[in-house]
Amino acid sequence: MKIVEFDIKKLKKITRENCFICQNKINTENIVFENKNFIAFLDYYPSTLGYTLLAPKKHYEDISEFSKKEFDEMQNILFRIVKSIKKNLKPDRIYLLNTGEIVTHFHIHIIPIYYETHTNFVDVLLRKRLLKLTKMERKKLSLKIKKSI
């Protein structure tokens, strides 16, 4: 695992037309959870180890588009993913974030915060430095999270 400098402004905006979530273009080694309605996967640009995204399969752009049933299901899945990350990766804290400026398909960022990232949490959120993981490292990491969900 390497650490690389990164500028989040270089990312291309993902709209309904070029949406990788709708087009089912998530690499299987990144997937930590999937059912009929939701998918969770390791972020392609992680600033901390285990940085995970949870998204509905429908292209919603904000939470107001969810039915109550879908929202409740998402909360349940979110809870299980957070518990698994806490148990298996042992971060000090887990941040949750939702914006939708770059990837407009609704998703929740599940961001494990470790001892060394407390002091630079703004850089973590702005993704100034990224962890560059190999395909095998991503596969091992997703399995680690997946096993307890």
Among 59, 127, 128, 129, binds Zn ion (CB under 5 A): 59
Applying CB under 5 A, which part among 31-39, 103-111, 115-123, 138-146 lies near Zn ion?
103-111
Contacts of Zn ion in 13-42 (CB under 5 A): 19, 21-22
- Ramachandran area for residue 88 (φ above 0: left; ψ -120 to 50: alpha; else beta): alpha
- Whether the Cβ atoms of residue 129 and residue 47 lie closer than 8 Å to each other: yes
Q: How far apart are the C-alpha atoms of 80 and 77, rounded to whole Å?
A: 5
Contacts of Zn ion in 125-144 (CB under 5 A): none
Nearer to Zn ion, 22 or 31 (CB): 22
User: Contact residues for Zn ion (CB under 5 A)?
Assistant: 19, 21-22, 59, 105
